Structure 1
Amino acid sequence: MLFLLGFNNYTVKAAIDDQSPLSTVLSNDANKNGVDRTVPNGLTDITQWFNIADVKNNNAVILPANTGTNKGSSDVIKLTEFGSTQKSGAIWSKRSQSDAKNQNYIDINKQQTMSMWMFFGGAYTTGGADTGDGMALVLQNVSDNAFTQISGDKSAGESLGVWGSPVDPVDIQPEIMAQRAIQNSWALEFDTYMNADDSYNSNFDANETSLNHIASNYPALASTYLANNKGLILNHENSITSMSTTGKSKNFLTDDRWHHITLTWVPAASGSTKAKMILNYDDKNLDGTPKIDKNTGKINTKEMEVDTSNFNLKDSSKLYWGFTGSTGDSSENNLIIFESIPSIAEADAKASIIDETSGNRELIEPTTDNPNANVVHNNDKLSVNYNLSYDSGSQPWQDIEAKIKLPENIDYQSALITYTDDNGNKSTENIDEFSGMTDNEITHKLAKELYYDSNNQNGNIKSAKISFEGSANSNTKTDTNVASEHASFDGSNLQKDVMTQAFVIKQPQGITLAKTGSDVSINTGATADLTGKISYSDSSTVDPTNLSVYAKVNNGSSTIVQNLSANPFTLSISSIKGANGSGNDLNEGVNTVTLYVMDNTTYEVSNEITYTITVLGSLKVDAHDSSFQTIQSMENKQMIKREDNWSVDVIDSRQKGSNWYLSASATPLKDGTKEWQGGMVYVDSNGNEANLTNEQVLVGKGVKSKDGEETTDIDQTWTKDSGILLKQTDFENAGHYSSTITWTAKDSL
């Protein structure tokens, strides 16, 4: 037994020596004794948003950027330090501070993202080192000094500062443990010490299989602790016991390396208390590129359910959030660097590549059904876009520095930032660094900050689109694979990373489109039939069912698309317009229509052909049956006014600026054989009178003032004493008299 004890003491001592001191971890040396000790990028001025908890033996300290031990450009939270045993650590968001713009909390009713870098000490060797005890991310509704109840000067290391802490063997009861934990809370532990000693204060991990593990539960619920006659066992929900991205099977946290964590809170559905927390763990490399699990080809992800009723929020929706940790007889450097604080600024960044040549198609990851989803062809016009959008928060996303590595094999011609405010107004900013770009790398600080407040839309910039236009350029006859590239957008209160879609440049096989018809002229309301014939450069048979024809009218961004079933093909384009003059087809006058064909499988496009279509337009009158007022027959001389049922419209679909003239003539008014003594007359605005009976009289004129169809309401310009009236010159027999008016609209007198 003495021999075994001596052996154990020796191996533990050797392992302890393997841990790196804090000064080495924070040296910010890219090659410190063969290890990249770069301090990850993150936020500074953390004291604005986080509070060091007032608890016994709190070892937590905020190490400002570029100060003392911390040689990096980010603030580092030291929760516990290697060599300091029997210590506690806790840091909490300032949920209730008086400065509302800096209040830091999780709102359970909003989707929010927390991201950070975490360091757990240890050694980069199989089996690691003697580390303890880890950290826990905690959401709670207590205070910014919350911590496990401490008896005397210490708590059990296995509590991590959040779970219940046994002080005496009689404490191993679930109810007692729950009372001593942080109340109204949910915790996600990153446990680095295997507490499976069959003792009352070191038994939480008796049912775990890995030295390091990640798990979650509710610290203040008795159901979280399982009764055992030796010591309570922690009920590890959502347990994670391996992480292939680290290369270490047991000590995947304590491997002496930084690990990036992204947590996304998804609110519960209406009427439910079951929210979600999505954990992406070890999901990013130090350079900001994604870290992919070699077994799945994806990032490590775990989705966890969180019952918000356990927070006892009542009428509130805001939680404290932060980290707790503790050490027993073992210790480690527990470090945190924050990248985002959702209540301060929540925003999104996405990258996209658009193949403008093949119908403005966005390149995406290929699938079995769409194996060419990321394929472009040589000389295709491409745009590489970075879309930044502000979602919510108390402060703008500000001081944004874009560090962009653009994809290779694109000849870039232009670069531009387009800002859109919350009223939809757009403004632009040039990227001056574009002209001097080397190695496709650009660093540019955005001139404007992003912000959005749905309750106060006063012109804040809501989004920014950074666009680079160019053409695919492959100098080989074989396929060219273009790698995904990284870009970061680092603001003073939020940092985001994105990757472009990897894609393939293929050489075109040669689709030729020939014009087989002539330019045409049509009337308004008619259609134009445009024809074309498709062939391949290798003279192979064309299957038109794999092809679509695209028509761009008057160089517009919108296109008409038609799937083909025959070769040669016919495409019909309409000149009919909507009531408001809108439409996606032809305008009156001369129109240019450009056609090209695209293969729906390979996304290769043909050459373009152009047709000219002239829409002649039309001029017409729309009039309805109308009447004059009823009169007494004893009057023999008078001017009879119109009823209110007159409707005379001139409808003009010709070119803007065209003249029109409207004339009217009338037949005599008759009731059987009886003929009216007098007749219809036209009285102009000056009182001049003209007889319409069997005579054409000018009753209106105008000039077309806009594009599209324009309607002029003629009778609305007449008064009760002007326009067409009925003149009586003698005694008339009672009856119903009628006449036919002929309306003539023409473009000249």
Structure 2
Amino acid sequence: MKWQRIWLSVLIALAGLLSGLTVAYAAMPDGLPIAPYFKTGTFTGSSNSATLVPNAAGEKETVQLTNAANQLGTIWADKDAYYFELNHDQKASMWMYFDNKGGSAGDGMAFVLQNDTRGTAAVSRTKLTNVPAAGETLGVWGSPDEYTSESPSVVSSQAIQNSWALEFDTFVNNQFPGSYIDKSSDFDYFINYVTDKKTESPHIASNYPAQSGTYSRRYNANQYYTVMFHKGILNPALSNGAWHHVTLKYTAPSSYPGTGKMTYAFDDKDATTGLATAATTTATVDINTSNVDPQNTGKAMWGFTGSTGQSFETNQVVFEQIPGLVDASATASLYDRTEDNVQVPANGMIMGGDRLLLQYNLTYNAGRKAWDNVQAAMTIPDNLTVTSGKVTYADGTQATVDLSSYQPGDKQLNATLPKGLSMENKTATISLYATAANPATNTAVGMTTSKFSAPLGIATADLGGFSIVHSAVNLTAQVTSGNAVNVLPGKTTTVTGTAALKGATSNAQFTLHPTLNGQDLAPATFDSQKQSDGSFTGQFSYQPLASDLHLGENKLTLYVSDAAGNSSPDVTVTINVAGILSYANVPKTVTFADTQLTGTSQQIGRQGDWNLLVNDARGSGSKWQLTARLSKPMTAINQPATQLDGDLQYRASTATSPVTIGTTAVPVATHTTTSNDETTNATSWGADAGMLLHVNSSAVSGTYTGEITWNLANAPS
């Protein structure tokens, strides 16, 4: 029975561990691919526990530094390609997971900047045995394994050299030195700051691992021990089963070398929703670049180290933005188009049925690489339906957002940005035009987060919540002039209609809101009259500018609002600008070259003006065909009864056989227009192609005339 009880307790512990990891994998946030950017540390003397781990679905990847007792893991970004620039502002962001072990977790992780000559082999090592040091060192701090009166410089010499580290310490090393001194577990003993006991709980803090001033040798019970001075201490919960978001913002010194500043923010995003949180804790510390970059190269290798002792945890990191490559940010705003495009503040109100603009502003702040292949996953707030969208870049170019896979009611709209962002083209504005529903009661809409992901960086944008006020009235609009209109180029049309409002006690004026081809135009007001049944009606008239209409189909969308902010459903008018196909020039007389007959069959070429010009104003892609037929035969002027012994012929090219042109029409030119208004010479044939005159050997000399009838058709047959 004793063995059964022991075995059962092991099973229970194992089950608890697996359950925690399952939750972690399921909740793993989206991140960047790991393999292209990072290398596991190459230190010798013990194995490196760092590995890449996919989530349960195999869709995401995380760096796992430790997951068992007595482990040491390091991982480094490639210094040649993905270095940290100490002489320029930098930004890094990531998600970190410290398991769900509370006070029994150990020991944690550290973010490290370093110029140790060992490169990826850099790790803290013990003095006595010269093996990689784990436990409270986290693989980066000096190892206090000597208990004599040696200088703190001995401890610092065993750290990663030329470095700065930000530790996420899950195990409190503050045991009273007398009985635990042999366990090298006294870095966090509160005498560190005498009265400041912030290190007596799990904490985040920073300092220089290889500087002797980071450590202090103290004496107790006839032995020496080492405490570590912590800078920028934060005391959030770490090993609580949650993914924690961390953002590092480095401000470079004004002149290099010098003293920069590092600001680190913990829990600045919620892992479940992606929203910014109010529970963010931050600290800012100085970084003396000479301590990290003594050669003044302006660069540092960066990465993570982590370790465990007898206490352990699963330590994982998901990267969101890699410093130096792409520093990108995004913001989201909501505008009420019905209310003169006023911006809706967080917790603001809109009216049911209002037309809205969801605007996402993406900014490339800095970097060495372009932010390419950005995949936008925009969360659509409840009770909003997107009707159209566009992307506008800093260079002025625009693209339409593809809504083919979007359905009203979808919670997310996905789109791929057609162009990347860089220092030459720094911004992209995604504009989504939407209509608010009119719920039966006033309805609160929660905050949303949208994500913009690319292989070199991920940015998120939060949109504040708002309320939709129920509209209790019935406002409608209809067009009386027809929902489809044809106009000629350079012309316009007048759209007329009526609006009716029921359920309101007063209304003096309506406002007409026109949108042409997705572009909002200036609204116009018109009066309403109260009817015997208590309703209000009005008539509107709207004429778009001819210059705003393009060839082909134009979509004019109209809706009406009242003085209280209520609005009608959309009505749509299709305005088709159909250009005409016409002759721009037809020569009255065309001639063939004067030729001396030789008594053999001959081919006679054209001479003079044969420029038959066709104007096509129907738009790019339209097609036309020109045909010719001989409507009067070639007859001698001085002998009207004598016809030319020969034929009028058409040859498409010198490689084709000629076709005789008689009383049946023969195609002599076809064309596809490449612009919205194009003039083309239909008779620009080669010298030995096109329309030619063939005479037989028995032809009689003379001057002959005939008549050619041209026919221009709007498409090839």
* Length-normalised TM-score, structure 1: 0.56
CA contact (8 A) 1:397 1:449 kept: no
Q: CA deviation at 1:273?
A: 3.4
Partner of 2:46: 57
Partner of 1:81: 67
**Shift in alpha-carbon separation, 1:47–1:311, aligned structure 2, 3 A:** same
1:431 aligns to 2:436 (yes or no): no
1:351 aligns to 2:332 (yes or no): yes
Count of paired positions: 476
CA contact (8 A) 1:398 1:491 kept: yes
In the alignment, which of 183, 188, 205 is matched to residue 205 of structure 1? 188
CA contact (8 A) 1:417 1:431 kept: no
Q: Deviations over 1:175-232 (max 9, x none)?
A: 2222222222211111111212311621101114544211111212222213311412
- Which residue identity does 1:468 align to in structure 2? L
Between stretches 311-320 and 269-278, larger displacement belongs to 269-278
CA distance in 1, matches of 2:267, 2:87: 27
CA contact (8 A) 1:383 1:467 kept: yes
CA distance in 2, matches of 1:506, 1:234: 58
Q: Deviations over 1:86-106 (max 9, x none)?
A: x3221111112xxxxxx1122
Q: CA deviation at 1:314?
A: 4.4
CA distance in 1, matches of 2:11, 2:300: 38
**Shift in alpha-carbon separation, 1:321–1:65, aligned structure 2, 3 A:** same
CA contact (8 A) 2:450 2:460 kept: yes
Q: Deviations over 1:80-121 (max 9, x none)?
A: 2213x1x3221111112xxxxxx1122234333222222223
Q: Deviations over 1:396-446 (max 9, x none)?
A: 3344333232012334322x23142x6443343423222x344332233x0
Partner of 2:422: 452
- Which residue identity does 1:262 align to in structure 2? T
CA distance in 1, matches of 2:246, 2:163: 20
Partner of 1:148: 124
CA contact (8 A) 1:194 1:212 kept: yes
- Which residue identity does 2:74 align to in structure 1? A
1:112 aligns to 2:90 (yes or no): yes
**Shift in alpha-carbon separation, 1:94–1:196, aligned structure 2, 3 A:** same
Partner of 2:430: 466
Q: CA deviation at 1:276?
A: 2.8
1:312 aligns to 2:312 (yes or no): no
In the alignment, which of 352, 356, 365 is matched to residue 382 of structure 1? 356
- Which residue identity does 1:185 align to in structure 2? S
- Which residue identity does 1:430 align to in structure 2? D
Q: Deviations over 1:542-580 (max 9, x none)?
A: xxxxxxx9x99x9998999xxxxxxxxxxxxxxxxxxxx
Partner of 2:391: 418
- Which residue identity does 2:49 align to in structure 1? A
CA contact (8 A) 1:288 1:497 kept: no
Q: CA deviation at 1:322?
A: 0.7
Q: CA deviation at 1:342?
A: 2.8
Q: Deviations over 1:252-275 (max 9, x none)?
A: 212233322222223334589343
CA distance in 2, matches of 1:75, 1:315: 35
In the alignment, which of 382, 391, 404 is matched to residue 408 of structure 1? 382
- Which residue identity does 1:501 align to in structure 2? G
Partner of 1:217: 207
**Shift in alpha-carbon separation, 1:310–1:381, aligned structure 2, 3 A:** same
3-state SS of 2:218 partner: coil
Q: CA deviation at 1:387?
A: 2.3
Q: Deviations over 1:644-687 (max 9, x none)?
A: xxxxxxxxxxxxxxxxxxxxxxxxxxxxxxxxxxxxxxxxxxxx
1:238 aligns to 2:232 (yes or no): yes
Partner of 1:635: none
- Which residue identity does 2:306 align to in structure 1? G
CA contact (8 A) 1:26 1:72 kept: no
Q: CA deviation at 1:74?
A: 2.2
CA distance in 1, matches of 2:233, 2:371: 35
3-state SS of 1:177 partner: helix
CA distance in 2, matches of 1:439, 1:427: 22
- Which residue identity does 2:260 align to in structure 1? A
Q: Deviations over 1:282-305 (max 9, x none)?
A: 33334342263xxxx443333333
**Shift in alpha-carbon separation, 1:447–1:506, aligned structure 2, 3 A:** closer
CA distance in 2, matches of 1:19, 1:204: 31
Q: CA deviation at 1:71?
A: 4.8
**Shift in alpha-carbon separation, 1:352–1:427, aligned structure 2, 3 A:** same
3-state SS of 1:232 partner: strand
Partner of 1:90: 74
Between stretches 388-397 and 342-351, larger displacement belongs to 388-397
3-state SS of 2:363 partner: strand
CA contact (8 A) 1:119 1:259 kept: yes
Partner of 1:4: none
CA distance in 2, matches of 1:318, 1:264: 16
CA distance in 1, matches of 2:344, 2:88: 30
1:283 aligns to 2:259 (yes or no): no
3-state SS of 1:144 partner: helix
Q: CA deviation at 1:135?
A: 0.8
**Shift in alpha-carbon separation, 1:597–1:311, aligned structure 2, 3 A:** farther
CA distance in 1, matches of 2:173, 2:410: 51
CA contact (8 A) 2:43 2:123 kept: no
* Length-normalised TM-score, structure 2: 0.58
**Shift in alpha-carbon separation, 1:211–1:110, aligned structure 2, 3 A:** same
Q: Once the two structures are aligned, what percentage of the paired residues are identical?
A: 30
Q: CA deviation at 1:311?
A: 1.9
Q: Deviations over 1:344-371 (max 9, x none)?
A: 33222221112233343333347xxxxx
CA contact (8 A) 1:46 1:75 kept: no
**Shift in alpha-carbon separation, 1:303–1:606, aligned structure 2, 3 A:** farther
- Which residue identity does 2:142 align to in structure 1? G
Q: CA deviation at 1:538?
A: 8.1
Q: CA deviation at 1:138?
A: 0.9
CA contact (8 A) 1:24 1:37 kept: no
- Which residue identity does 2:208 align to in structure 1? Y
1:228 aligns to 2:218 (yes or no): yes
CA contact (8 A) 1:44 1:64 kept: no
3-state SS of 1:310 partner: helix
3-state SS of 2:316 partner: strand
CA contact (8 A) 1:387 1:465 kept: yes
Partner of 2:448: 485
CA contact (8 A) 1:94 1:320 kept: yes
Q: CA deviation at 1:471?
A: 3.0
- Larger strand proportion, structure 1 or 2? 2
3-state SS of 2:157 partner: helix
CA distance in 1, matches of 2:268, 2:31: 15
Partner of 2:107: 133
Partner of 1:651: none
Q: CA deviation at 1:339?
A: 1.9
CA contact (8 A) 1:212 1:253 kept: yes
In the alignment, which of 346, 349, 362 is matched to residue 343 of structure 2? 362
CA contact (8 A) 1:474 1:480 kept: no
CA contact (8 A) 2:267 2:279 kept: no
**Shift in alpha-carbon separation, 1:424–1:441, aligned structure 2, 3 A:** closer
CA contact (8 A) 1:135 1:190 kept: yes
CA contact (8 A) 2:170 2:239 kept: yes
CA distance in 2, matches of 1:15, 1:166: 34
CA distance in 2, matches of 1:14, 1:269: 59
CA distance in 2, matches of 1:484, 1:442: 16
**Shift in alpha-carbon separation, 1:237–1:21, aligned structure 2, 3 A:** same
Q: Deviations over 1:352-397 (max 9, x none)?
A: 112233343333347xxxxxxx333344321012222333334433
**Shift in alpha-carbon separation, 1:270–1:426, aligned structure 2, 3 A:** farther
CA contact (8 A) 1:43 1:494 kept: yes
